[in-house]
Amino acid sequence: MRLVVIELEDDDLKQEIIVKNRNVNCQVIRPHLLRFANPSGSLFIQIQDANGQPIKDSNTVAISTLFDTDNLTHFHGYIQFDIDFHFKKETIYNISLRSTGGYTFAEPNYIAWCNDWEHRKYNAAYTPNGDTAGALDLEIWSKDDQVKGDV
């Protein structure tokens, strides 16, 4: 398997989403992340409006806790960030992965966000553009409200 990733080189990496048909009561956002070697610091998810203005922050996760007991130097998988947020239908949001607590990008030690699927080769100038041509992999877990009488 080959992972296509976008490294967290600055303090944030964003994926634009559009909530289409209905309001969504989000409880958890789970980006598919890669930890390469042993970077320091912490990560959190920030929901932003379409202009990049912060709306809500998740809990913070220490990068040192992202590991697999079979491989302590590399890890990739879905990481859970708890965030209670109400996405409104027909609205554009940015899901931003942000670093804190001393994280700095370096070739031997870094965090990256995996693309949603494998891509053909891109040149060195390629950057994700937030649509299906470069979508970043994430899950949004929601809680539907039950109305009395619903099955």
pLDDT tens digits, 97-133: 999 988 999 988 999 999 876 555 555 555 655 544 5
Which tokens go with 51? 């202009």
Flag whether 150 is in a domain: no
Question: Does residue 105 lie in a domain region?
Answer: yes
Query: How many residues are present in the chain?
Result: 151
Q: What is the pLDDT of residues 42-81, one digit of tens each?
A: 999 999 999 999 999 999 999 999 887 776 778 989 999 9
E strand spans, 8-89: 12-19, 24-36, 42-49, 54-62, 74-78, 81-87
pTM above 0.85, yes or no: no
Instruction: Give a yes or no: residue 19 inside a domain.
Output: yes
Q: 10 is in which domain, residue-wise?
A: 5-142
